Chains A and B, each alone.
Chain A
Amino acid sequence: MIMKIKFLKVLFPLFLFFSLAYSDNSKYAGEFLRIPIGARALGMGGAFIAIANDGSSFYYNPAGVAISGSGILSFMYSSQFGGITSPLASFFHLGFIQNVQNLGIAVNWVRLSVEDIPLTPDFTSVQTPVDRENLVKSYTGGGLFNDIEDAFYFSFSREFRFNINFGWSRYRVPVSMPIGMNFKLLNQKLGSERGTGFGLDIGVMFRFSMDDFLQSENIGDVSISLALKDLGKTRIAWSTRREHFVESTIMFGLAYTLPVNFISGKVTVAYGSQNSYLTDRLYGFEYSYRDLLFVRFGKSAENLTLGAGVKIDFLAVDYAFLAHDLGAVHRISGSLTIEKILKKL
């Protein structure tokens, strides 16, 4: 008996706590976390999971942060759907990546802002269609509200290099295996309500050269990538006392980069799959000319993408286009290598 009472005493506050929040199994929470980042990545259909070697690497695989260089400032603007002038949403990214004692560290801020959402009253309880029609037609309110969704990523990554010894000791293959993780804070402000959350992503990549593997020359590099996002479901708690969970996503990628000497360039083909609710398949292609000019195209789920880029010394600028039912996405992103600028100065 006493045990039981004690048990209840302990549990009661817990019941109270849970009863204050409605957690449900709603879908599509934190959906803005699934908008791919970076114009280079989007130009390749988002099949960037096994590449992840620039300022957007934290999104595709946190392990990529360790191999994305150092002292790089990245930024991006994307008009999400429906043209440049009045898109349905604007998507921003600003981030900095720095290598400190073999540890790749990145700080990134991602914002989706949906502005000028019409504010309308509730007529759903009006029974007759004719009355509703009159109310709708005579409504001239015109109020608007906004939705601002922010995510702050803190990424840590380390690259491990070692040789794989193929038993019969004919040859050894040197491989690179970066491992990384993201901590992310979510803050969503929708009208007057607010939702916050904290999440965790982890990832690993496995990279090696086919030259080493097949003991030949100029036959390219291979990268295999696996990332787990929103580990254990990221919880978003709303000011309405409702809790949503961001479904975990398994992201898998393969990439193959082949030097093509006669056209002075490199060709990369990439495949990715991300499994959240449904499995999206991503395909990408990039041709780089002397590491200076880039042309890309890809397919993200059902949507085709195109992209182009230029890299001049410390500055890289990329553009991407995504065809979508809701209207096209235009995206521009750039990165500055701070060290190179400092050297110039």
Chain B
Amino acid sequence: MMNKNKYPFVTSMTCFSGAFDYPQKTALGVNLVIEKEKGAIGVFASSGLGWLLNDYFMILSIFPYMFDPNKSIGEIITLGKAKYYSNYFFWPQAKSMVYQYNLIGDPAIKLPFPEDKAIVNIERKILSATDSLKIQIQSQISSGTASLIISDSIHVLRNEFSIPIQNGRGSITIRPPTRSGFVKAFISDNQRTESGFSSFRIGGAFVGDYSFVPDNPKPGDSLSLSGRVEIENQILPDSVKFVVYRYKSRSGRFDFLLGRDTLACEGGGTNVYRAVKKIPILAGTRYLIHMIAYSTGKVFVGDWKEIIVKGLPDPSLIPQQLSQFQGSIYLKSQNLKFIADSTIKLSLKVYNLSDVDANNFKIKIYHSFRDENYLIGQTRFSVRGNSFADVVVPIDKDLNIGTYTIYAVVESDSLSGDDLDYSNNLVYNMLTYGFVKFNSDSISITQNISLKRGSESVSLIAFEYPTAVQLSYVANNFYPVRPLGEQRNFIVKYDALNNNSEVKIFVKIDLSDQNLNQNKDRIKLYQYDDKTRIFRLKGGSFVGEWFQASLSESGIYTLGFSNDAKAPRIEVTVEGQSFRDGAHVSANPVFSILIEDDEGVDISKESLRFKIDGRDVRYSDITIPDTISNPKNVFVKLNPKLTEGEHSGSFSARDVNGNWSDEVRISFKVVSNFDIKIYGNFPNPFSDRTFFAYEIFGAPVEEVEFKIYTVAGRLIQNFKFPSNDPREIYGFQIGGTGIPTAIGYHEIWWDGTDRDGIEVANGVYFYKFSVKREGKIQNFTGKIARVR
């Protein structure tokens, strides 16, 4: 390769030609690059074993980028490798291929390509042994030089020379240096470049040089085909025809032969033959065309030529992003889901990757196998171009409760028209089918579990057993129970699906187990509470070996028993203060009810029994926090509206095992008229510390402030609530008597120090207590004496 100044870029898709990593040896690819005044400008080669098919796939992936003069070699190889890996990742060698193929050379190099095409005409492509090669060049460059190369059929150089180009033309006649080969021309006027080639052969035949009218056929066009046939000794063919294959799918990944046309040809000039009939062009179809010539019993076959015409809808179950990168057609899709209200359906997303709207396509749902015997539902859908739609397919066929591989397949037919790409028309997902249709009042789920509907209005429920749900039993003393013959604990997920009537569940339990038999009466149905994240008792009882209970609401249920007999404890506070009988509260007080239980508190409707003045508090009036961090300590709030006067309340609650707490009874008084009572400070005179006591009636205040002055009127200490200054709220903290601005009794403690924390001397001090409410300030002054 002595081509000085015209170094090639070499791709060597085989073993070890790029093995740069051998310490003692220099690889072929490296030698090509480092040799002076010969070799290559760059080599793309493997440092390891080549893998035949994958070598091919690799170069196939690089080629689409290779001839882009705007990209550097580095970019081309990176893009090509990415394309290779995204398409062929499932090959075991795929990763190794990406690593082992490397560029030797400068990745910033951009490969130059001739900008335009020159036409290289050889008068006759099939020569006889004595014929000369008459070469004519037509160029857009009117004046320049054409470098001509004549190579043999395997592109080994045989002759090289230059001819001038004048008025866009140049010609030469030479003896062919080889029996068959190529004439390659490179034309330049030092500004623009052009290239072209043609082939020749001594003896044999040539079929090719196809041309189409129109050049770029659109859907609906009729295509007229022509080609060139030459046979040695200038024999004319007996007949010439075109064979046209029509395939589906633009991508070519999964082509389906639509049909094959044979078009007879007639002569149309020197060695040129034209098809008698035109072929109508359909959108989204790949046409493969070649010409066949027959001559005295011989058949001459031309090269294949491909024409692809765009413009079909492309309904896809795979979104655009995945469609581009995934080579696999079997794609697991999380979009596939069962849904149910009064009937069971399957919902999924359907995309249209084409610009053209997809109308009336059919979608079919199969379980287990993609076979018509396993068809469980189908429907038609339409998706606009470059858009997606949520499609719901009614499930006609009943399945048993269990987990299935569910396939969704998009099909086109005479109603919908063609699909551009079939390869993205199938997805699947592993789905749990957990529905029970009540054809009669009782349904057996398994041998040992059955359901009975409460009324005939219940036709469909969601029911999963056993499910993959793994929930921890928070309570220490809870013993889950298995149905007879089952290995796993009983956990079911039940959804009433808009049915109001209840469903009864029957579970057969092996009571020959001594432990179970002893605790038979304790075994109950427990329901999982999403808020507290523990199971709470629902009920149920045994009738013989069958445990029966009512599934009164949607949820997750389990069976088991607990030894817990300890009742929960309840503590009631109002506006942050411990409750005392007869306490004054506002007309709209906030009661905080703390319920504590070692096994967890049940906060469901039936388990909170709160009464005000003997009347039950509605569950919706009880404020339960949105998140409960610990089900063993639950704070709920009550904010009743009360009339002036005496009231009473009672509070009891249940734990998750059904133990009721003692009833906490309180009595309180609503004083709606706002008032402040000052009790003064205790003790007076004081030695070490004293507290100032006051009480707020009727309504909370916005702010309280307590200022202490010397007899000369010097302010030496102040306490304020609310305040951001910890020094100012210090006095409120010692007593711990609730929010200082709330209704009720409060204390402000003074330890006899000033704002600097220094003790004050014996003497009299004045205080001013201010209460701010609705913007108005009420002041109280008094005297505190200190004697030590």
Chain A residues with CB under 8 Å of chain B are 22, 24-32, 34-35, 80-82, 88-89, 112, 114, 117-124, 129-130, 132-133, 136-137, 139, 145, 147, 149, 188, 190-191, 193, 195, 236, 238, 240, 242, 244, 277, 303, 324-327, 329
CB distance from A240 to the nearest CB of B (A): 6
Contact present for A324 and B713 (CB under 8 Å): yes
Q: Does B737 contact A (CB under 8 A)?
A: yes
| A130 nearest CB neighbor, chain B only | B580
Residues of B within 8 A of A139 (CB): 679, 682
Question: What CA separation (Å) do A25 and B715 show in the bound complex?
Answer: 19
| A302 nearest CB neighbor, chain B only | B715
Question: What CA separation (Å) do A277 and B771 show in the bound complex?
Answer: 29
Q: Which of A88, A133, A188, A303 has the most CB of B within 10 A?
A: A133
Given A114-B783, A324-B713, A326-B781: A137 touches B679 (CB 8 Å cut-off): yes
Question: What CA separation (Å) do A139 and B690 show in the bound complex?
Answer: 15
Question: What CA separation (Å) do A114 and B782 show in the bound complex?
Answer: 11
What are the nearest 9 A-B pairs in CB distance? Answer: A29-B761, A122-B683, A26-B761, A31-B710, A244-B761, A129-B737, A120-B684, A34-B712, A26-B759
CB distance from A37 to the nearest CB of B (A): 12
Question: What CA separation (Å) do A195 and B691 show in the bound complex?
Answer: 25
Contact present for B764 and A114 (CB under 8 Å): yes
Contact present for A88 and B766 (CB under 8 Å): yes
Other A-B pairs, 19, CB within 8 Å; known A31-B710, A129-B735: A22-B788, A27-B716, A27-B761, A28-B754, A29-B761, A29-B763, A31-B714, A114-B783, A120-B684, A123-B691, A124-B690, A132-B691, A147-B785, A188-B762, A240-B762, A244-B761, A325-B709, A325-B715, A326-B713
Question: What CA separation (Å) do A112 and B711 show in the bound complex?
Answer: 9
Q: Does B154 contact A (CB under 8 A)?
A: no
Question: What CA separation (Å) do A191 and B754 show in the bound complex?
Answer: 23
Contact present for A326 and B714 (CB under 8 Å): no
- The residue from B690, B758, B764 contacting A117, defined by CB atoms under 8 A apart: B764
| A116 nearest CB neighbor, chain B only | B783
Contact present for A114 and B711 (CB under 8 Å): yes
Question: What CA separation (Å) do A238 and B786 show in the bound complex?
Answer: 12
Query: What are some 23 contacts across the A-B interface (CB < 8 A)?
Result: A25-B759, A26-B758, A27-B754, A27-B760, A28-B710, A28-B760, A29-B763, A34-B714, A89-B764, A89-B766, A117-B764, A117-B785, A123-B691, A129-B577, A129-B747, A133-B580, A145-B685, A149-B711, A188-B762, A193-B762, A238-B762, A238-B788, A244-B761
Given A117-B684, A120-B682, A130-B580: A147 touches B763 (CB 8 Å cut-off): yes
Q: Does B736 contact A (CB under 8 A)?
A: yes
> A-facing mask of B757-788, CB < 8 A → 1, else 0?
01111111010100000000000011101011
Question: What CA separation (Å) do A133 and B577 show in the bound complex?
Answer: 12
Contact present for A244 and B710 (CB under 8 Å): no
Residues of A within 8 A of B316 (CB): none
Question: What CA separation (Å) do A324 and B707 show in the bound complex?
Answer: 13
Contact present for A122 and B758 (CB under 8 Å): no
Contact present for A120 and B680 (CB under 8 Å): yes
Given A129-B578, A130-B580: A118 touches B684 (CB 8 Å cut-off): yes
Contact present for A118 and B762 (CB under 8 Å): no
> A-facing mask of B669-684, CB < 8 A → 1, else 0?
0000000000111111
Q: Does B745 contact A (CB under 8 A)?
A: yes
Residues of B within 8 A of A34 (CB): 710, 712, 714
Question: What CA separation (Å) do A145 and B764 show in the bound complex?
Answer: 11
> A-facing mask of B587-611, CB < 8 A → 1, else 0?
0000000000000000000000000
Interface size class for chain B?
35 or more
Residues of B within 8 A of A149 (CB): 711, 763
Residues of B within 8 A of A133 (CB): 580, 693, 737, 745
Contact present for A147 and B764 (CB under 8 Å): yes
CB distance from B743 to the nearest CB of A (A): 13
Q: Does B218 contact A (CB under 8 A)?
A: no
Contact present for A190 and B707 (CB under 8 Å): no
Contact present for B693 and A136 (CB under 8 Å): yes
Question: What CA separation (Å) do A171 and B715 show in the bound complex?
Answer: 50
Q: Which of B661-706 contact A (CB under 8 A)?
A: 679-686, 688-691, 693
Contact present for A190 and B787 (CB under 8 Å): yes
Question: What CA separation (Å) do A145 and B735 show in the bound complex?
Answer: 27
Contact present for B758 and A195 (CB under 8 Å): no
Residues of B within 8 A of A303 (CB): 713
Contact present for A124 and B715 (CB under 8 Å): no
- The residue from A122, A132, A191, A325 contacting B785, defined by CB atoms under 8 A apart: A191
CB distance from A255 to the nearest CB of B (A): 23
> A-facing mask of B347-360, CB < 8 A → 1, else 0?
00000000000000
CB distance from B521 to the nearest CB of A (A): 43
Question: What CA separation (Å) do A119 and B681 show in the bound complex?
Answer: 9
Contact present for A31 and B682 (CB under 8 Å): no
Contact present for A188 and B763 (CB under 8 Å): yes
Residues of B within 8 A of A188 (CB): 762-763
CB distance from A236 to the nearest CB of B (A): 8
Contact present for A240 and B788 (CB under 8 Å): yes
Question: What CA separation (Å) do A188 and B711 show in the bound complex?
Answer: 13
Given A27-B758, A88-B766, A122-B682: A326 touches B709 (CB 8 Å cut-off): yes
CB distance from B664 to the nearest CB of A (A): 15
Residues of A within 8 A of B682 (CB): 120-124, 136, 139
Question: What CA separation (Å) do A244 and B761 show in the bound complex?
Answer: 7
Given A136-B679, A137-B679, A242-B762: A117 touches B783 (CB 8 Å cut-off): yes
Contact present for B781 and A81 (CB under 8 Å): yes
CB distance from B593 to the nearest CB of A (A): 18
| A117 nearest CB neighbor, chain B only | B783
CB distance from B225 to the nearest CB of A (A): 103
| A133 nearest CB neighbor, chain B only | B745
Residues of B within 8 A of A130 (CB): 578, 580
Contact present for A244 and B762 (CB under 8 Å): yes
- The residue from A24, A31, A123, A326 contacting B763, defined by CB atoms under 8 A apart: A31
Contact present for A191 and B691 (CB under 8 Å): no
Residues of A within 8 A of B735 (CB): 129, 132
Question: What CA separation (Å) do A129 and B747 show in the bound complex?
Answer: 9
Contact present for B680 and A124 (CB under 8 Å): no
Contact present for A120 and B785 (CB under 8 Å): no
CB distance from B27 to the nearest CB of A (A): 89
| B577 nearest CB neighbor, chain A only | A129
Contact present for B760 and A88 (CB under 8 Å): no
Residues of A within 8 A of B714 (CB): 28, 31, 34, 277
Residues of A within 8 A of B762 (CB): 26, 29, 188, 190, 193, 195, 236, 238, 240, 242, 244
Residues of B within 8 A of A191 (CB): 685, 785, 787
Contact present for A120 and B681 (CB under 8 Å): yes
Question: What CA separation (Å) do A34 and B768 show in the bound complex?
Answer: 20
Given A89-B711, A137-B745: A129 touches B736 (CB 8 Å cut-off): yes
Residues of B within 8 A of A29 (CB): 761-763
> A-facing mask of B740-758, CB < 8 A → 1, else 0?
0000010101000010101
Q: Which of B54-76 contact A (CB under 8 A)?
A: none
Question: What CA separation (Å) do A98 and B681 show in the bound complex?
Answer: 47
Residues of A within 8 A of B768 (CB): 325-326
Given A28-B760, A120-B680: A35 touches B781 (CB 8 Å cut-off): no
| B767 nearest CB neighbor, chain A only | A326
Residues of A within 8 A of B736 (CB): 129
Residues of B within 8 A of A80 (CB): 711, 713
Q: Which of B331-371 contact A (CB under 8 A)?
A: none
Given A28-B716, A124-B690: A190 touches B764 (CB 8 Å cut-off): yes
Question: What CA separation (Å) do A63 and B691 show in the bound complex?
Answer: 45
Residues of B within 8 A of A28 (CB): 710, 714, 716, 754, 760-761, 763
CB distance from A134 to the nearest CB of B (A): 8
Contact present for A124 and B691 (CB under 8 Å): yes
Question: What CA separation (Å) do A238 and B713 show in the bound complex?
Answer: 23
Residues of B within 8 A of A27 (CB): 716, 754, 756, 758-761
CB distance from B367 to the nearest CB of A (A): 69
Question: What CA separation (Å) do A137 and B745 show in the bound complex?
Answer: 9
